[in-house]
Amino acid sequence: MGHSNFSIGAEFYVMSKLLLNNIPTFKSYTNQEGFDLICINSVSNISVTIQVKSNSSINDYSFWLNKRTNIKPDFYIFLNTKIVHGKGKAKSFVFTNEPEIFIFPIRIIKRNRRHRVDNKKNHYFLLSDKNYRKKYQNNFDQIKDVLGL
């Protein structure tokens, strides 16, 4: 599966979960800078932007963040599909695991992101603490709270 198709599939998966949690959500144009989804409360005219980042490896909770840009999403949603097991020629695909969704406000990301050790200045976010993951896993209420839903 190509990286682009996998990323787009992750965005639609997250969008479906948001909609199932009664959060009106729309997909942005492909390659929209800064965000993939926008959630709205049309009554109070409030919106939040969401950047979806996906990872397909089992037991890998590191996610690359957007490169430096002036446009920052309100939330990052990390999706770990857990379908790839192994590396290289030993790589296999397992489709029996339920994907994990972690929802983080941008303030948490800014405070806890890490820098790649090279001159590209890329950032990543590591979810190594299981208690931390529990707190933010499937926590759609924080988006609802911002939107007033």
- Return d(Cα 97, Cα 57) in angstroms, integer: 11
Mean pLDDT of the chain: 79
Which residues lie across from 27 on neighbouring strands?
37
DSSP string spanning 65-92? Answer: PPPS-S---SEEEEEEEEEEESSGGG-E
Q: Give 3-13 pLDDT, tens digit per residue.
A: 567 788 889 99
Q: What is the pLDDT of residue 134?
A: 85
More confident site: 21 or 109: 21
Give the mean pLDDT of 108-119.
65
Angle at 29 between CA 17 and CA 10, to 5 degrees: 35
Residue % of the chain over a pLDDT of 90: 34
Q: Name residue 10's amino acid.
A: A
Q: Are 58 and 126 in contact (CB under 8 A)?
A: no
Taking the CB of residue 118, how many other CB atoms lie within 10 A of it?
7
Q: Are 31 and 41 in contact (CB under 8 A)?
A: no
Greatest pairwise CA separation for the chain in angstroms: 52
The domain segmentation of the chain, as residue ranges, is 3-147
Task: Classify residue 85 as left (phi > 0), alpha (psi -120 to 50) or beta.
Answer: beta
Q: Return the SS3 of 112.
A: helix
- Return d(Cα 87, Cα 147) in angstroms, integer: 41
What is the DSSP code (8-state) at residue 98? P
More confident site: 70 or 133: 133
What is the DSSP code (8-state) at residue 149? -
Domain covering 3-147 in this structure, CATH number: 3.40.1350.10
- Does pLDDT of 30 surpass 90? no
Winning range, highest mean pLDDT, from 54-63, 81-90, 133-142? 133-142
Q: Give 84-111 pLDDT, tens digit per residue.
A: 655 555 555 666 568 889 998 988 877 7
